[in-house]
Chain A
Amino acid sequence: MSARRLESGGRIDRTTPISFTWDDKSLSGFRGDTLASALMANNQRVLGRSFKYHRPRGIMSAGVEESGAIVTIGRGNRTDPNIKATMQELYDGLEARGQNAWPNVRRDIGAVSGLFSRFFSAGFYYKTFMGLPPFEWGRGTGLWMQYEKLIRKAAGMGAASREADPDCYDHAHGFCDVLVVGAGPAGLNAAVTAAEAGRDVLLVEQDFELGGDFLNQPGPEAETRRLSLIAAAEKAGVQIMTRTTAFGLYDNGTAGLLERVSDHLPAPAAHQPRQRFWTVRAGATILATGALERSVAFGNNDRPGVMTVSAARTYLNRYGILPGERIVVATNNDSAHVTSDELAMAGAQVVLADARSDVARRDRISVRSGVAPLQVLGGASVSGVKLAQHRDGAWRRAETESCDLLLVSGGWSPVVNLLSHRGAKPVWNAENACFLPGPTDEAVFAAGSAAGIWNVDACEASGIAVTKTAFGESATLPEPGGWQAPIKPLYEVRLPDTKPKAFVDPQHDVTSVDVRLAHQEGFVSVEHMKRYTTLGMATDQGKMGNIIGLALMAEALGKDIPEVGTTRFRPPYTPVAIGALAGRNVQGHFKPLRRTPLHDWKLKEGAIMTDAGLWHRPWYFARSGETITEAYIREATTVRETVGICDVSSLGKIAVQGPDAGEFLNRIYVNGFGKLAIGKARYGIMLRDDGMVMDDGTTWRLADNDFLMTTTTTNAGKVMVWLEELLQTRWPDLRVHVTSVSDQWGGAAVAGPQSRAVIADCLEGAAIISDEALPFMGVASARLKGDIPCLIARISFSGELAYEVYVPAGYGVAMMDLLWGAAEPVGGCLYGLEALGALRIEKGHVTGAELDGRMTLDDAGLGKMASSKKPFIGNVLRQRPELTRADRPQLVGIFPKDRSQAFNGGALLSVPGEDTGHGEGWVTAVTHSPALGHWIGLGYIVGGHAAWAGKPVIATDPVRKGDVEVEIVSPHMYDPKGERMYG
C-alpha cells in the first residue's frame, strides 16, 4: 500500500495542520483527521501486531469494527491502551505508539510465534501445559503456573498505567420521547420526523460529525442534503449529541450513552470531565446504527493493505487520501462498484474482481467476473493477490494481480447489537446474506441500513417511515435490500484440501482452520465455537468476523446459517472506561461519609476517627504522645472514676407514634413495652422472623402515644425499613406512624460518677436531674443553658451512672460546648469507640460483634428478657430444635490465665491439645480492662460459663498470635450486680 493525501478533496481542514507522534516519530495531519487517516496519509503501514501470532496489521476499516490499527495513546497516567486508531480523533500533540510488540510493531521479535502457529490451533492450551512434557507427568498446579506466567506476559494487548487516572467523569441523566441512535441518512430523517411531530428527540452520533454515510460520499449533493437535514433537525428542536455512543439498551427504554467530552483534546480543560456517562430514559428508541461491511476468509486476508471497500471510500472522500495506487477491489455485491469508480477517478489503477458472473464493464476499470481473492502476496505490505475462480463446485486457481491495496467486500452486516442487548434474536435474511434486527415487543425500532436497506434514498425514507410507525401511524416501510444485482454469499475462498492462513477474527487470530477444528472436536454450538476458538471475544466483539465464523460452521455441519444460530451481543457496543461508569462517585464521594452534628467539634478536640459503617466516629482522643492503648485506657478509667462524654448521635432514632404504638412495640420487641410508663426508657431486643437477634436499643416513652426508639448505628436504616414494612404490609390495621429522626437529634452520652453534676451544671434548672426526679431508666425533657431544648434519659452502656442527652441537631455543638465546659474542669474526658468498647466488654454488654445475625437471645444470655405474656416477631421460629439445644455456644467472659498476657478477638476457644477442628467457641472482642487491670474478652463457647468454669481453655489464633491459655468467666466481669449505675 502506498497511500497519499490528495491535493484536494475530503472534509479535513487543510488550513489547520496538526502534529502528532507515532512511535516517537513526529508526523502531521489535519483537523478532521482520525489517527488512522493521519497515519495512512503519512503512509504508515504496520500499525499493530496480532494477539497470538504477532502478525503485522494495518488499517482494516474506518470505524468501530477496526481489528488491525489498535494502538496505545497518551503517556503516564493518561495512557490509553487498545485504542482503535480509526475512532480516535487527531489532536495536537497526540502521542500514539504500537503495542503488543517488541521492540516495535514494524520489527517484532514476537513474530517468531508465527513459526509455531501450526501447533497453536484453537484450544491447544487446554491440551497441554498441565505437567511435565511430553506426557504431562505430575500432579497439582505447580507446572501449569510456571507456564502461565509466560502465557500471561505474552497475552493481553496494550499495557495500562498503574497510576490513578487523573481525569474526572460525569454522570448525567436524560429523558426524551424518542432516542435516535445514529445520525446518518436514516437517523437524521427519523429525528426530524419525530421532532416535527412535536416529540422531544435526542439524536446521538458516535462520530464527531453528523451525517453517517453522507460523509463518505463525494460531491456537493450529499453535503447539501446533509446540511439541510441538520438544519431541519436543529430547527425542530432535536437535541443533538456528537462523540456520543449509545453503548447499551437496558430495561424499560433505558439507554446508556457515553459522551466523549474531551478525548479529542490533549487533556480535558479544568472545568471539563473527560467523558460523561448518560442514562437516558426514552419513550421509543430508533436504531439508525448503520451496517458494517465484512471481509471474506482467504489466505493472508489480514495483511496490512487489505481493508474493506467502504473504508477506502471513507479515506478517499472524507479524508482526501488515495489509499493505494494499484488497487484490487474484491466484492460479491454491488456496494463496491461505486467506490471502484471513485478510486479510479482519483487516479488509482483499479481492478474490480467481482465474485459474481457477468458483471458489466465499467469505465476506467478493469472488471473481472467470477473471481475472488485466494491469497494475498507480500508481508508487511501487499504486493499482489492470487485470484480464484469458482468452477465445478470448487474454487480453482486463477491469475495473480499485482497491487498495493486489496479492498474486500463480503457483504454487509446491519448493526443489530443494541437490539441483541434486549434479547431480540436477529433473523437471517438469505436474500441479502445478513442478519436483520429481530422482532421485539419493546418500543425499539431499526431504520436504514441497520434494517438491511442499502441505498441512501431508501435509508432516508426508512428513517421517516419507521418513525411514523413508532408513533402508531401507518407508513410504508422500505424493504430490505436495494442492490441491482443480488449478492452472492461468499464467506471463504480456498482451494480444496488446503489450509490457508485465512482470518475470521483477525484481532484474536482465529482462522478458518480453527473454526473447522472446533467442529471436528464437537464444539458445534455457536457459543461453544465462540468460547473454544475465542472468535468474537476480542475488543470488537466479532463485529467483522462473527458471520464468517457462523457460515463456516454451518458449512461444516451441512446446515444453513440460521440453523446454527447466533451468539448474543453483550453491552457495551464499544468499550467504556470504568471511570466513566463510576462518574463522580469516587474518592470521598464513594459511599459518601455520614457526619454527626458533632463531627467537626470532635475533630477540633483531637478525635482520631474510625469507620463505623458509613460514619466516622471517634476512635479515641489522643493526648500528645499517647498511643491508642494508652488513650483508651485513660478514657475508660476516667469514665469509671470521674466522667466522660461520647458522641452517640449516630444511633438510629425513630419516632414511633400513634394510638397503637405500644402494641406495635410489643410485637416487635421480645419484651413488653405496652405498659412502659411515660417518662421511662426500656432496653429492648428485636428478633428477625427466623428468631435470630436483629437489633437492640432503648425505647423511651415520651407521651401516651409517643415513643422514641433508638437503634444501633449499623442497623438504623435496616430497622426503619423493617418497621415500615411491618406497618404497611403486615399490620396495616395498626394506627402507628414511624419517622426516622436520626438526623434531627444530636446526642451525647455522659457517663461516670460525676455525670449528674456535669449535666446539672449545664441545665437551666438542675432539679430535674436529681436521683428522685430522674431515676435509673427515667426520661425527662429539659432545657440546657441558653434555652436549648433537650431530652435526657438516664441509661447506661458503660455500667456507670450515665445519661444520654439529645438536642435538636443544630444545637449539637452548643450542647458539647456546655457539657465539655462542665466536664473538663472536673477532670472529665471525651471518649471514643475504643474506650466505649472497653467499658461495655467489662460489663458484658453485647454489640454487633456478638449479635452477628447468627445468634439467638439465649446464646447472648438475654433469654430471660423474652416475654411469655405476649407473642412477638421471631418467637415461634426461635424455638426450633437446633436453636434450643443445650450445647449451643453461650456468651461468656474470658480472662487470660496469666493475667499479664493479651489475646485477640477472632481467636478460637479450644480444649488444650486439640489443634484441629472448629474448636469450642470463639472470642468476639477483647480489651485491656482498666478496672480489672488486665486483658479481658467476650466470646461464645459451647455450653457457656457453667460448662467451662475452672477448666483450661486455649484462645488459639494461629494466623496472628498463637495460643494463650484463658479462663472462662461470667460475661459480667465488672460490677456484676450493676450497682454503680444507680449511684
Chain B
Amino acid sequence: MIRISCPFCGPRDHSEFSYGGDGSITYPALDAPMQEWHDAVFLRENICGVQIETWQHVNGCRMWLLVERDTMTHEIHSVRSAHPGMAAALGAEQ
C-alpha cells in the first residue's frame, strides 16, 4: 500500500486514489497542430525514478493531485494540488 498525503484530507491509502498519468505533460491548445496533440497524447517519458504524476483522490475529496513519486521504490517525495490556485492557497511549493 502506498500512502499518499492528500493536502486536503491527510495521509490515506492509495486505494482511495486513482492514478491519472504523467503529470509533466502540458496539453496543447485545443486548436494546436496535430503533431503537438499527438506528442502530448501518445508519447511518454516513462521515467524510472522520480516522476511527477497525477492522482485523483477519487474516493475522498475528488481533488486531482500532483505527486512526485519514485516509480522504482514507490517512495513519495511531495504531493500538492494539481490546481495551481488551490496549491498556492495551501502554500505548497510551486
Contact = CB atoms under 8 A, between A and B. Distances in A.
Given A251-B1, A251-B74, A872-B30, A877 B41 contact: yes
Nearest to A717: B58
Please tell me the size bucket of the interface on B. 20 to 34
B29 interface: yes
B44 interface: no
Contact of A871 (B27, B29, B42, B81): B29
Interface string B53-64: 010101000111
A432 to B, nearest CB: 30
A667 B30 contact: yes
A957 B38 CA distance: 38
Given A729-B54, A871-B29, A877-B38, A252 B83 contact: no
B20 interface: yes
Contacts of A871: 29-31
A689 B41 contact: yes
Interface string A707-750: 00000000000000100110111101000000000000000000
A250 interface: yes
A16 B84 CA distance: 69
A872 B30 CA distance: 6
A876 B32 contact: yes
B31 A253 contact: no
A604 B38 CA distance: 52
B43 interface: no
A724 B56 contact: yes
A728 B82 contact: yes
Contact of A876 (B37, B58, B75): B37
B30 to A, nearest CB: 3
A520 interface: no
A875 B37 CA distance: 10
B47 interface: no
A876 B30 contact: yes
A872 B31 CA distance: 8
A690 interface: yes
Of B20, B62, B74, chain A has the most CB atoms within 10 Å of the CB of B62
A729 B82 contact: yes
Contact of B64 (A250, A729, A873): A729
Interface string B1-32: 11100000000010000101001000101111
B85 interface: yes
B64 to A, nearest CB: 4
Given A251-B1, A281-B1, A690-B41, A877 B34 contact: yes
A254 interface: yes
B30 A254 contact: no
A253 B74 CA distance: 12
A279 interface: yes
A880 interface: yes
Contacts of A721: 18, 56, 58
Contacts of A251: 1-3, 74
Contact of B54 (A253, A725, A873, A875): A725
A474 interface: no
A724 B34 contact: no
A901 interface: no
A967 to B, nearest CB: 39
Interface string A802-815: 00000000000000
Contacts of B86: 728
Contact of A732 (B30, B37, B41, B85): B85
A667 B86 CA distance: 22
Interface string B66-77: 000000001110
B35 to A, nearest CB: 10
Contact of B37 (A253, A254, A727, A877): A877
A879 interface: yes
Of B63, B76, B82, chain A has the most CB atoms within 10 Å of the CB of B82
A150 B31 CA distance: 65
B34 A880 contact: yes
A243 B40 CA distance: 53
A846 B13 CA distance: 39
Contacts of B84: 732
B3 A732 contact: no
Contact of B30 (A727, A729, A875, A880): A875
B27 A732 contact: no
A724 B3 contact: no
Contacts of A876: 30-34, 37
Nearest to B40: A689
A730 B26 CA distance: 8
B74 A252 contact: yes
B19 to A, nearest CB: 11
A876 B33 CA distance: 7
Contacts of B54: 725, 729
Interface string A254-291: 10000000000000000000000001010000000000
A721 B31 CA distance: 23
Contacts of B62: 724
Given A721-B18, A871-B30, A876-B34, A252 B82 contact: no
A281 B29 CA distance: 43
Contacts of A724: 56, 62, 64
Nearest to A880: B34
Interface string A780-817: 00000000000000000000000000000000000000
Contacts of B82: 728-729
A278 to B, nearest CB: 12
A252 B64 contact: no
Nearest to B26: A730
B64 A279 contact: no
A876 B56 CA distance: 26
A967 B6 CA distance: 58
Of B1, B33, B62, chain A has the most CB atoms within 10 Å of the CB of B1
Contact of B1 (A252, A730, A873, A875): A252
Contacts of B63: 728
A253 B86 CA distance: 29
A655 B83 CA distance: 20
A871 B36 CA distance: 15
Contacts of A880: 34, 38
A194 to B, nearest CB: 20
Given A724-B64, A730-B27, A876-B37, 18 more contacts: A250-B1, A251-B74, A252-B1, A252-B3, A254-B3, A689-B27, A689-B41, A690-B41, A721-B56, A721-B58, A728-B63, A728-B86, A729-B20, A729-B23, A729-B64, A732-B83, A880-B34, A880-B38
| 9 shortest interchain CB distances as A-B pairs | A871-B30, A254-B1, A871-B31, A728-B64, A252-B3, A728-B83, A876-B37, A251-B74, A729-B82
Interface of B: 1-3, 13, 18, 20, 23, 27, 29-34, 37-38, 40-42, 54, 56, 58, 62-64, 74-76, 81-86
19 contacts: A251-B3, A251-B74, A252-B2, A253-B3, A254-B1, A279-B13, A281-B1, A667-B30, A727-B83, A728-B63, A728-B81, A729-B20, A729-B54, A729-B64, A730-B27, A871-B31, A876-B32, A877-B37, A877-B41
